[in-house]
Structure 1
Amino acid sequence: MSETPAQRRERLQQEAVNWHLRLTSGSAEPDALAACAQWRRQAPDHEQAYRDIEQLWQQLPTALQADRQRRRALPAHPQRRAWLRRGLSLAAAASLVLMVVAGLYPDYWQHPWADYRAQIGERISVALADGSVVHLNTDTALDVALNANERRVVLLRGEAEFDVAHDPTRPFRVIAGTTATEALGTRFVVRYDGSSGSVSLLQGKVRSSRPSAQGAQADSAVLAPSQRLRFGAGGLSAPEPVDPSTVSAWRRGRLIANFITLGEAVAEINRYRRVPIRLLDPELAQRPVNIAVDLEHIDDWLAALQQTLPLTVVKAGPWLFLHR
């Protein structure tokens, strides 16, 4: 299936970033420069994509310095007003560059040394040495440690499904923040955004636990198939029913959610887009919706959405805006 112009542009941006990071990492292979040059010569838009990344990278130090000065600036004293006015345009430009860099490539700035990573919009599967398989969803990073006594996975961010190989002598534990989920021969999904998350059991049995404050008894819960619990600063929630086919729909390239708001739907879709969709109408964001999105054709879903809801999709470069 041929890719759309938008998909090609996003793919080339991603490849250009990969090449640039590889060449500036300090550990590039001797033939990397020649390979990158060959990639750039393949087509004019290859060359343009790489030049765009180079330009952003060159602007970044100036942008960082100007943004730092803006943040440190005191309230406008009479003697400082003229200086602040002169610095306003540079600070605004700095903020724009930082927004573009952080907006397009946030996954490159977080957990760059993780054992396994899936970039935004990417889904990969990893076979571990013990026979278990880990499926990483979009924007996910994790570390793996296997030894004679334990199999431990630290989910740094994102979402992953774990298909665990049975080994009664070595428990399999997934750590997300302070929450640990232990399983023996099972399938489950853990999602974690850096402060809160969820555990959904597809098959088998798992126990999730986290330490309680001041040495109190640990908070723990056992999940049965088709159950989910949430965790966060308040501890573990009680198990609740969940549809396994919905939880794991991303494995099939689908995003399915029922009885959510349009704002929640857009937030979920944005996990798979390097440039997020902006919903400009707060009232529209509260509209209840059911969604079934093909993750390879998100723009098609947005186009169809205009036929069912009172909204308009406006495209400005790589950005998309939804409003009445």
Structure 2
Amino acid sequence: MDAQEERNVPTAMDRKRMVSQEAAYWYIRCSDERSMSRYDRKLLLAWLKKSPEHVAEILRMFQLDGQCARQRLRDVVNGLCESNVVEVDFGGGASQYDYQPSRTVSDKVPRKAAESKFKPLWKVAAAIGTFSVAGLLGHAVLDRPNGVIETVASEWQHKSLEDGSSIHLDARTQLKVEFTDGQRIVYLNHGQAAFDVAKDSRRPFIVRTPLVDVVAVGTRFSVDIGLDAGVTTVVEEGVVKVIKHGETDSSAVMLARDEQLYIAPPSVVEVPRISAPNKIHVDAKAELEWTTGWVHFDEGATVREMVKQFNRRHEVQVNIVDPVVAEKKVRYARMKIDSVENFRDAMDNQEGVAVSEDREHKTLRLRSE
């Protein structure tokens, strides 16, 4: 090899720099998963399978950005005989008197032992050479008993279902998936979830809540069981049908794009009425922005509303000490749903609001300045 050829051979540092640049590219693409085509996902899978270094580097990107606070890298190879699926999760208010902890979903977030801090990364890296990454191709395995999926405080999940549909789970949410040859049912027990439904005219997609059923064929919408147990449905794409349990289709309300319907719980009204006049027009894309990791507040929203959105999702809770603060209007704000620091910064920039922290009790207190 002559001197010129030797100079053209990439060094170890050059290769590392190239891997970092490629990982940064794919990280940016993964940050907006909905914009990735299936072909893009196959390209990403091929890149990941090319080298364990690729896996380690892209996971490092997610860790550096705080996206892997609660990543779960499950080694599901053991116990699978013929399957070629291994799951990779990249994923990881109400004022103080509004939030009521769930009886069925713990606020305790399980953590792995310190000795396994780095080991799982290389387990996945080794497995990727042989097995496909189900989460990236849209075929995640529901590995909890009986199809139950749940999130705790400060945890969000994205799940791909066997029919090509996908579910975004907000914090403190529990649901159960049951698919048969005749229908697709998701039992939403509490919390909030958004659904991207794959079209299948033979099998309607039903989100069943304690109050109503929300029926779709192929669409994007969200269903939220609020702290008052009322049910709010928002449609971003397509059409859904909302029908009270035990009633016929004639009493159902159809919701189209950018429409929202709220159904009050029986404790608020004697009989929860479902009627077209209860529909309102909303910016559905903004309402479902939480699925991307953010929530926004238009000018005129109150501090109480920001606290409500924060408290429903976090183990750290915000107490509004001064009632005057609760009704203060906020400027336009965009809040990262997994960041306590981001919320605190927003409050620090709010005129007339002072923030103090009680780390022992995991509490932030808001009072007049």
Q: Is 1:206 paired with 2:230?
A: no
Question: Which residues in structure 2 correspond to 1:237-252 (within 5 Å)?
Answer: 238-252=278-292
Q: What code does the residue aligned with 1:116 have? A: I
Q: Is 1:188 paired with 2:280?
A: no
Give the C-alpha shift of residue 120 in structure 1: 1.6
> What is the alpha-carbon root mean square deviation over aligned residues?
3.2
The answer to whether the Cα contact below 8 Å between 1:246 and 1:257 also exists between their aligned partners in 2 is no
- 1:151 corresponds in structure 2 to 184
Q: Which has the higher helix share?
A: 1
The answer to whether the Cα contact below 8 Å between 2:356 and 2:364 also exists between their aligned partners in 1 is yes
Alpha-carbon distance in structure 1 between the residues aligned to 2:203 and 2:334 = 39
- 1:285 corresponds in structure 2 to 326
Alpha-carbon distance in structure 2 between the residues aligned to 1:228 and 1:16 = 33
Alpha-carbon distance in structure 1 between the residues aligned to 2:212 and 2:235 = 15
- 2:339 corresponds in structure 1 to 297
Give the C-alpha shift of residue 126 in structure 1: 1.1
Q: Is 1:18 paired with 2:110?
A: yes
Q: 1:113 to 1:311 in 2, by over 3 A?
A: farther
- 1:319 corresponds in structure 2 to 363
The answer to whether the Cα contact below 8 Å between 1:211 and 1:217 also exists between their aligned partners in 2 is no
Alpha-carbon distance in structure 1 between the residues aligned to 2:348 and 2:204 = 49
Alpha-carbon distance in structure 2 between the residues aligned to 1:169 and 1:216 = 20
Give the C-alpha shift of residue 36 in structure 1: 4.4
The answer to whether the Cα contact below 8 Å between 1:254 and 1:293 also exists between their aligned partners in 2 is yes
Alpha-carbon distance in structure 1 between the residues aligned to 2:114 and 2:238 = 50
Q: What code does the residue aligned with 2:335 have? A: V
TM-score (ref. length: structure 2): 0.56
Alpha-carbon distance in structure 2 between the residues aligned to 1:172 and 1:145 = 10
The structure with higher relative contact order (CA 8 Å, sep 6+) is 2
CA offsets 1:119-140 (integer angstroms, 9 cap, x no match)? 2222211111222111111111
SS of residue matched to 2:252: strand
The answer to whether the Cα contact below 8 Å between 2:243 and 2:249 also exists between their aligned partners in 1 is no
Give the C-alpha shift of residue 38 in structure 1: 3.8
Q: Which has the higher strand share?
A: 1
- Which contiguous aligned blocks of 4+ residues in structure 1 show a shift greater than 6 angstroms? 215-218
Give the C-alpha shift of residue 280 in structure 1: 0.9
| Aligned with 1:274 (options 298, 315, 326) | 315
Alpha-carbon distance in structure 2 between the residues aligned to 1:256 and 1:228 = 17
Which ranges of structure 1 fall in alignment gaps of 5 or more residues? 9-13, 20-34, 43-111
Give the C-alpha shift of residue 16 in structure 1: 8.1
The answer to whether the Cα contact below 8 Å between 1:211 and 1:218 also exists between their aligned partners in 2 is no
SS of residue matched to 1:305: helix
Count, aligned residues: 231
Which ranges of structure 2 fall in alignment gaps of 5 or more residues? 1-62, 71-105, 120-144, 266-271
Alpha-carbon distance in structure 2 between the residues aligned to 1:193 and 1:124 = 19
TM-score (ref. length: structure 1): 0.63
- 2:164 corresponds in structure 1 to 131
